[in-house]
Amino acid sequence: MNSHQLFRRSRTRLALWYALVMGGILSLSGFGMYRSLVQSNWAAMEREMESIAGTLHDSLEPMLPASEDPTTVLRRILPELCLAGQSCNASPTLIQRHTTGISDRSTYYIRLFNHRGNLLAFSPNQPVALPQTFISAPWQTFRSGNGDRYHQFTIILHSSESHHTAPQSSPHASWGYLQIGRTLESFDAEVKRMQWILVIGFPIALGLVAASSWWLSGLAMQPIYQSYQQQQQFTANAAHELRSPLASLLATVEAILRLPPSNNQQEIPMMLHTVERQGRRLSHLIADLLFLTSLEQHSSPKPLQPCCLNDLVSDLTEEFLELSTTSGIHLTSQIPDGEIYVLGHESQLYRLVSNLLANAIQYTPAEGYVIVSLEAHDHTAAITVKDTGIGIAPSEQTRIFERFYRVDSDRSRKTGGTGLGLAIAQAIAQKHHAHLRVESQLERGSIFTLEMAFSSSGTQKIG
């Protein structure tokens, strides 16, 4: 299985996990919200029924008769109600409709029972085939003969005389019962509407979750894939860089072994120099790789110390003066009088600027110039290495800080470069929270600038 298929399978699994988790959360949230809305609507409906029943209860109790035959009194108190066993006026006047205190006559109905559970009166809009059997439970939900659902609330009524004459423990302490009920058609329609929203909206939401999961998994896998590619590229480059000196070493050793005894004294010293040169190249390459790894892992336990950049630039100029003179390059430095201090590891900063200088001299032809300058700005110190070398193409300027990348591979190998100098310089700059940038034009040279913040010592003038 190649790396592309491996990462695609990993992305697919990650997207599926995202979708499953988000789908589970969405399902629980949607079901919980649905149940919460249904219960809140049901509770609001019952509170409204209790409020209407309480209003009617408080209006009726003071006028309830104590006799067993309250027909005449009920007709006078509630002219809208139909009395059991008598003809019913189904078209009450506006005043009669207002008497009951119920505004929506198409939704609510009223029934009155005596204390024995016998029906005394009812509203003309009560449901067809309503159960005639009295049930004293406070709340009832039932389905009528035509299939409609109803919810009913029952409250006890006491006449004004019963409060004074009948003890509370008497079986006839109550005058009767008031029932108020309502149709659940609107409630069921609202519940049905919410169910349709869930049925239609949930698959759409799941589709959006799946699409976003695939997109998010791609974003999550992108840095991992890039890191894997960089690791593969680094492994290939390291293997390539190590293969050349190793092949040279093996070839030299084989040549030494095949030499006849008579030529050993003449050929062996020269071949041993070749072995030494390739061994040193391998040693430098391995040392650079280990140093670069330690920088990226932040494994240095030493604290940052104030470093004088004036001394650093001056020492490096003197060190590279002989190399530049041998190469026919004019190396000069521009150092201010005031001492400039920054916080850092002096050896690492020395290595950084040293790599920049070596790189500038390496890519500058004879009779060229390399200028190292140190400047102090408002809050930063800047070290600039300017050369008149071959320059760097704009398309390559973003890659020169990569490991083993060379602008001119053939020339770099001939001069002993490993392709890690600028990568190490960039790693050191990042560790010191500095900024390393390049400006270059082909055949006109390059300018590398390192900017660092001042230490607490700042800039001190020499007296």
Is residue 425 in a domain?
yes
- Which pLDDT score is estimated for 144? 76
- Kindly give the parts of the chain with pLDDT less than 50: 93-101, 103, 163-172, 410-414, 460-463
Q: What CATH number is associated with residue 32?
A: 3.30.450
Residue-range definition of the domain harbouring residue 78:
3-192
Instruction: Give the domain-ending residue among 192, 207, 234.
Output: 192
Task: Dig out the tokens for 157 from the structure.
Answer: 């009524």
Read off the DSSP letter of residue 170. S
- Which pLDDT score is estimated for 100? 47
pLDDT tens sequence across 326-350? 989 999 999 998 889 999 889 889 9
When divided into structural domains, the chain yields a total of: 2
Task: Report CA Rg, the chain.
Answer: 48
- Which pLDDT score is estimated for 299? 60
Q: Whole-angstrom Cα distance, residue 445 to residue 228?
A: 34
Is residue 59 in a domain?
yes
Is residue 248 in a domain?
no
Is residue 260 in a domain?
no
Q: Whole-angstrom Cα distance, residue 197 to residue 191?
A: 10
- Which pLDDT score is estimated for 369? 93
Is residue 329 in a domain?
yes
Strands 459-460 and 82-83: unpaired
Is residue 123 in a domain?
yes
DSSP string, 100-147: T--S-TTTEEEEEEETTS-EEEE-TTPPTT---S----SEEEEE-TTS
- Which pLDDT score is estimated for 261? 65
With beta carbons less than 8 A apart as the criterion, state whether 145 and 126 touch.
no
Q: Do 334 and 185 reside in the same domain of the chain?
A: no
- Which pLDDT score is estimated for 457? 53
At 279, phi and psi to the nearest 5? -65, -40
Instruction: Give the domain-ending residue among 167, 192, 217.
Output: 192
- Which pLDDT score is estimated for 371? 94
**Taking the alpha carbons of 410, 413, 418, 421 in that order, is the dihedral positive or negative?**
negative
With beta carbons less than 8 A apart as the criterion, state whether 123 and 80 touch.
yes
pTM for the model: 0.51
Q: Do 10 and 152 reside in the same domain of the chain?
A: yes
Q: Do 309 and 188 reside in the same domain of the chain?
A: no
- Which pLDDT score is estimated for 113? 85
- Which pLDDT score is estimated for 177? 87
Is residue 204 in a domain?
no
Is residue 70 in a domain?
yes
Q: Do 310 and 187 reside in the same domain of the chain?
A: no
Q: What CATH number is associated with residue 401?
A: 3.30.565.10
Interior/surface letters 303-329, b for 16+ CB within 10 angstroms, e for the rest: eeeebbbbebbeebbeebeeebeebeb
Instruction: Give the domain-ending residue among 174, 192, 210.
Output: 192
